[in-house]
Amino acid sequence: MALRSTGKPPSAASGPNPKGRRWINRFISSDGFEENAYLFGDAASRECVLIDPGASAERVIAYVESEDLSVMAILATHAHIDHVVSAPILSRRFGTPFLVHAQDEGLLDGLAQQAASFGYKLMEKVKADGFFQEGTVFHVGSLSLQVLHTPGHTPGSSCFMSGGDLFTGDTLFAGSIGRTDFPGGSTSEMTRSLKRLASLPEALAIYPGHEGESTIGEEKATNPFLLSLYNAQDHG
């Protein structure tokens, strides 16, 4: 499992947060999904949240403990197995709740079926300790992280926004979007969610659930799925 950093260590200021205190570390799983888990934190308080606890638990634990960080919450952008498989292990280790949008609770209940369909080994049942919704705000030291409900990939798919950063899960990728042909997916809801994201400031950095980072402006200019939305409007 590889660890790649997209920000400076917690001991240094980095990123576009107005107070210069936010940092982001990305952990890429090596289970075939290459899912991105992120630690998003405040350098001054050493508080952080973990977003999308995929198959990189050992690396996350080692990093958190070596840096003496306080994990305030474990959040999932959606309840597909590659984004939640390590939630029970990490929740116990850090003594912190695992949260997901309520509309994805059914996907958690069916995680064993998801695992079987991908030939994936599910070590234990994954259950949420609570749920968030549109507009929920998580406080991380001096920072805040707001939930944007963006269904389409799954019913509860959500993004998390703080200052100039947006964690998009499998809703929006660099150059692509999440699939809508899995159970609970919806092309019409994905279209509405993508239009919502495209209305956000173009300088907003996006951190997706797979592959590398981008910005809203870059995706509006080059992502074929976003371009097709606006071409359809122009000819509608």
Cα(161)–Cα(16) distance, integer angstroms: 13
- Mean pLDDT across the chain, nearest whole number? 90
Q: What percent of the chain has pLDDT over 70?
A: 89
- 103-138 confidence digits (pLDDT tens): 999 999 999 999 898 888 788 999 999 999 999 999
**3-state DSSP assignment of residue 67:** coil
The answer to whether 39 touches 24, Cβ cutoff 8 Å, is yes
Residue 221 has pLDDT above 80, yes or no: yes
Residue 95 has pLDDT above 80, yes or no: yes
Question: Is CATH 3.60.15.10 the right assignment for the domain spanning 2-234?
Answer: yes
Cα(34)–Cα(214) distance, integer angstroms: 17
Cα 54-82-9 angle, rounded to 5 deg? 25
Domains in the chain: boundaries: 2-234
Name the one residue in this structure whose structure tokens are 């205190």.
Answer: 21
